[in-house]
Amino acid sequence: MRSKKFILLIVFLLLLLSQIPFAYRRYKLRRLSAEVRQLNLERHPTDGFTEYKGVVHVHSFLGGHSTGTFAEIIAAAQANQLQFVIMTEHTEKEFDTAAMTLKGMHGGVLFINGNEVSAANGDRTLALPDDVSIVAYPEQFQNWNTPGLDGVEVYNVFTNARRISPVIAFFDVLWSRRSYPDLIFALYLARPNEALQKWDQAMTRTRLTGVAGNDAHANIGVSLKDSSGKTLLGIQLDPYEISFRLVRLHVLLEQNKTLDETSLVEAVRVGHCFIGFDFLGDTSGFSFEAENGKIQGDEVQLNGETRLRVRSPVSGRIVIFKDGVVFSDDSGINSKDVVITERGVYRAEIYLPQLGSLVAQQPWIISNPIYVR
């Protein structure tokens, strides 16, 4: 009897010791939360184009893979103060899911209807109105010579999440989800090196807009339902409201343009937008432009006075890439001007080392490029 109690005590102590790392991870999230609040107080946005924030790659109950309702998606967009949501429903043989999904204004939010399309070889694209086609899951994409490609999903929340150990995630959720439902994602955030490399390589041949995909399904969790389908008990690990906080696409429109389907889709097509990991702090107000009024997504001609300018809403580390290779790398600044002497594809990334080691090496902002011809 005494030996059984001793064994139980040892097991209990081992279980207790196993939770120390997760308690420490929760402590790091608490510190990160305070740093993010301070960061948002220090923001100094730049003036210029009118900026709209939204999310790309969202699924509902249409096309399977999700039970999410339109009402849940609209409420999540409103809770996050989004101006637009780009729906990308899975296709069905018997009906047109793009035609049936959310479209137009709902609850003050602009919805764009689209599909996630699979080719015979397994390549997947996000098909938007006006024949805009965006490479999805570029790590697995094979035929980069497919005609009509307009962009690349250089970051995808689901792709990032696949590297997470379910066991570790389970205990992180137990310890931290209630207090830090979105910041818990910082424990797993990773720069999409392979996708960025493929994007950089492709842009040496053609223009391609970089976007981020939330890949929101609201389909991960455990629940107990009654015979009518009503949930009696459960936990949802990826509700739309949290997914929409993680990463967003910030679209830039000229001040004389209004936000509608035509202007939004065109801005995405030409690359007048940037990726912001807004759960680490509001990225609104970032700018990447040339001296002649051209902005990210545009082409400029090389001459003796060609300059590019990066402006960040807060001080941080600004990295400028040329054809995928680091061109300049400076820390502790909120602006960077560079003189360009060579043709190439230039883009910027911003990092926030002041947020601590948990996310210091992960990008806060990924710009679209300026093409110097």
* Token duo for residue 92: 């069905």
**Model's pTM, two decimal places?**
0.90
HEC string of 150-193 equals: EEEEEEEHHHHHCCCCHHHHHHHHHHHCCCCCCHHHHHCCCCCH
Residue 347 gets the label, from left (phi > 0), alpha (psi -120 to 50) or beta, of beta
**Confidence band (pLDDT; 50, 70, 90) for 225?**
very low
Question: Cα 318 to the chain's mean position, in Å?
Answer: 19
* pLDDT for residue 1: 61
Task: Identify the three-state secondary structure at position 341.
Answer: coil
- Integer angstrom CA distances of residue 140 from 135, 136, 189, 229, 265: 10, 9, 20, 37, 25
Terminal-to-terminal C-alpha distance of the chain: 82
**Confidence band (pLDDT; 50, 70, 90) for 18?**
confident
Q: What is the pLDDT of residues 39-85, one digit of tens each?
A: 999 888 777 789 999 999 999 999 777 888 999 999 999 999 999 99
* pLDDT for residue 297: 96
* pLDDT for residue 222: 41
**Confidence band (pLDDT; 50, 70, 90) for 224?**
very low
Q: Is the pLDDT of residue 6 over 60?
A: yes
Strands 325-339 and 307-322, sheet pairing: antiparallel
Between these two residues, 27 and 276, which has the higher pLDDT value?
A: 276
Rounded CA separation 356/28 (Å): 9
